[in-house]
Structure 1
Amino acid sequence: MRTKTVPAAAFALGLSLAAGTAGAFELESAGLTIGITPTVSSDYLFRGVSQTQNRPAVQGTIDIQHTSGLYVGAFASNVTFLNTNARQEIDALAGWRTSLYGVSLDLGGIAYTYPGYQNGPGFYDLQYFELAAKASYEVPSLPVPVKVLGAVNYSPNYQAESGTGFYVEGGVEVSLPYDFTLAGRAGYQWIQNNARWGSPDFANWNVTLAYKFSDFVLTAGYYDTNLSRGECFGAQKICEARAMVFLSRTF
């Protein structure tokens, strides 16, 4: 168990930076490619809802893919949930990536875990699992590259033991001159047991502008949901519209 004073995301970031100095991320003999991405962010939003009580986040992602398209990965971030002792999130990912008729596909699963969290009387388990399917397609014959994206996620027992959960998302990315990318996404989350979850089913959307320089990406965006203050997990201020900025680097 990690100590509460050192978030798992900070630990992952340290590993990422240390590994970055080695400069060996393609193990050709084993057919593996390894990508490591540390990120610092003004907030941690998940489907438009803050996971850090509107505070900054330090995150790390690792992705290991075989030439067959099979991959495993992990994501870590600090979190803060009201009236819980959850302080870090560590997710495990696995799946298969391929391309079919020009469409890039990603089929896999995600396990969301919160090491150190203890759910006492009146609290439910935060950990859950989702099956995920993502697709993207680059539209041909346009003046600038345009990519259309879609995703579907399904959980048999969503977070807080709230029953079946479905999430769908669509979006578009436009590559602009000078290494800028303009993107927009919109999604909708359904939850079987809304009372236990803490909000009605809800929509979320965002518009972002990213700038790539060297191995870094600086992104700024606007994020919002359709949840009112009264509908937001006991009238918290974590579902409201906000601007957000984050910086990431890929090794």
Structure 2
Amino acid sequence: MVLAAVTLSGAAFAQTTPAAPEPDYTASVNVGAVTDYRYRGISQTRLKPALQGGADFAHKSGFYVGAWASSIRWIEDTGDIAPRTNIDGPVELDLYGGYKFSVGDFGIDLGVLRYEYISNNLQDAGGGGIFKNANTTEVYAAGTWGPATLKYSYALTNLFGNYNFATNENTKGSGYLDLSGTFDLGVWGLTLTPHVGHQWVNNLDVASYTDYSLTLGKDFGNGLSVSLAGVGTDADKSFYASPVNGKFMGKSGLVAGVKYTHSF
């Protein structure tokens, strides 16, 4: 009876112990690698591997900021457009910030994203006049319900340097609609993420396309995760061909990735 009393007393104590308070902020850094850096279905690395890393900071109020970087090849590759030009831009740096909040069962995310292509001079490719500078700014709004997220991004600048030189029209106002969902498969910590998106490029119809992917993810715990994705697009094969070798950068393929995240 004494043992039972002690046990019941311990259970009562456990039930009345207050939960740990929510931290004022969360912060993390991450590093990783992929066999091909695909963005919106298009290879940024000429179907080659990329090194990537980033940092994120979020306050419990809902505000967040972050930075993420990746090696790329597509800007330098435009130097092969005749007449040949020395074009720089080996790194993509994304800077973003926003505010997340909930309305009932819906999660809302509003933010701004700046794509900074370090030291790029894309506007000089092919002797100039074909592209604008690659640096791009987008604002976005996303809504999440259950496992599904619908997101729309709107370009405040020319989109990744695209420009209709034939009509002298810019690509400001381009948009990208993205529908995705992440589902726990219930075995071995696996998740499945289907995705479909459509990129509208304002004043340049040939650059518009739809992309799709299906990603299998595995979280090993302690910050380590891996993924394997099947990706593809219906993009124009001539417009999205590499100037270096003529290969289609939106071709269907498999992309493997590994990432380590450390939280503070």
Same fold (TM over 0.5): yes
1:98 CA displacement: 1.2
Counterpart for residue 149 of structure 1: 149
Counterpart for residue 72 of structure 2: 79
Where 1:193 maps in the other structure, the secondary structure is: coil
Larger Rg: 2
Where 2:207 maps in the other structure, the secondary structure is: coil
Normalised to the residue count of structure 1, the TM-score between the two structures is 0.79
Normalised to the residue count of structure 2, the TM-score between the two structures is 0.76
1:163 CA displacement: 2.6
Selected match of 1:190 from 175, 182, 200: 200
1:87 CA displacement: 0.2
1:229 CA displacement: 2.2
Amino acid paired to 2:210: A
Counterpart for residue 5 of structure 2: none
Counterpart for residue 114 of structure 1: 117
Where 1:73 maps in the other structure, the secondary structure is: strand
Counterpart for residue 203 of structure 1: 210
Indicate if the aligned counterparts of 2:52 and 2:71 stay in contact, CA closer than 8 A. Answer: yes
Question: Aligned pair 1:163/2:156, yes or no?
Answer: no
Counterpart for residue 250 of structure 1: 261
The percentage of aligned residue pairs carrying the same residue is: 23
Report the Cα distance in structure 2 between the residues aligned to 1:151 and 1:218, rounded to whole angstroms: 24
1:212 CA displacement: 0.8
Indicate if the aligned counterparts of 2:138 and 2:154 stay in contact, CA closer than 8 A. Answer: yes
Report the Cα distance in structure 1 between the residues aligned to 2:119 and 2:240, rounded to whole angstroms: 25
1:68 CA displacement: 0.8
Counterpart for residue 9 of structure 2: none
CA RMSD of aligned residues (A): 1.8
Report the Cα distance in structure 1 between the residues aligned to 2:109 and 2:260, rounded to whole angstroms: 22
1:230 CA displacement: 2.5
Indicate if the aligned counterparts of 2:209 and 2:236 stay in contact, CA closer than 8 A. Answer: no
Q: Deviations over 1:138-157 (max 9, x none)?
A: 1xxxxxxxx11111000132
Report the Cα distance in structure 2 between the residues aligned to 1:133 and 1:39, rounded to whole angstroms: 27
Counterpart for residue 252 of structure 2: 241
Gaps (5+ residues) in structure 2? 1-21, 80-86, 164-170
Counterpart for residue 30 of structure 2: 37
Gaps (5+ residues) in structure 1? 1-26, 139-146
Counterpart for residue 184 of structure 2: 175
